């Protein structure tokens, strides 16, 4: 089971995010006890993503990804840092990866994510 949560919840505080994620993860583990679970990192955004979504912020994303890593470790599941494969040398999503809103990927970048 591959899980990626958080991009639409960047407005949350750390505690609310962590509790909500843990609740969801616990439900998945309970319903599918034999599943191998992968928690995927929240993808970075472009430097101007805040123009279309004021909560789009790479610092918040990095912090939430640390929380997701902790949840993976404490729940005995895998963490996949898929965002790292998409970011540029500055740690942000390149503009060409999401020219419209800074968050949603072009087909080329979706394929990079899948790879």
Taking residues 103-110, what's their average pLDDT?
Answer: 90
Taking residues 85-97, what's their average pLDDT?
Answer: 91
DSSP of 79-96: EE-GGGGT--TTSS--GG
Do 61 and 23 touch, CB atoms closer than 8 A? Answer: no
**pLDDT at position 58:** 87
Do 20 and 46 touch, CB atoms closer than 8 A? Answer: no
Record the pTM.
0.88
Average pLDDT score over the chain:
90
28-39 per-position pLDDT tens digit: 999 999 999 999
Does the pLDDT value for residue 100 go beyond 90?
no
Does the pLDDT value for residue 54 go beyond 70?
no
């Amino acid at each position: 089971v591959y899980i990626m949560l958080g991009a639409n919840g960047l407005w949350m505080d750390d505690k609310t995010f962590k509790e909500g994620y843990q609740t969801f993860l616990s439900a998945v583990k309970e319903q599918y006890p034999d599943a191998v679970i992968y928690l995927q990192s929240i993808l970075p955004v472009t430097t101007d993503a805040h123009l279309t979504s004021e909560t789009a912020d790479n610092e918040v994303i990095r912090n939430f990804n640390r929380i997701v890593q902790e949840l993976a470790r404490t729940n005995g599941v895998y963490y996949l840092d898929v965002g790292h494969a998409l970011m540029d040398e500055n740690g942000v999503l390149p503009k060409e990866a999401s020219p419209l809103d800074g968050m949603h990927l072009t087909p080329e970048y979706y394929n990079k994510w899948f790879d």
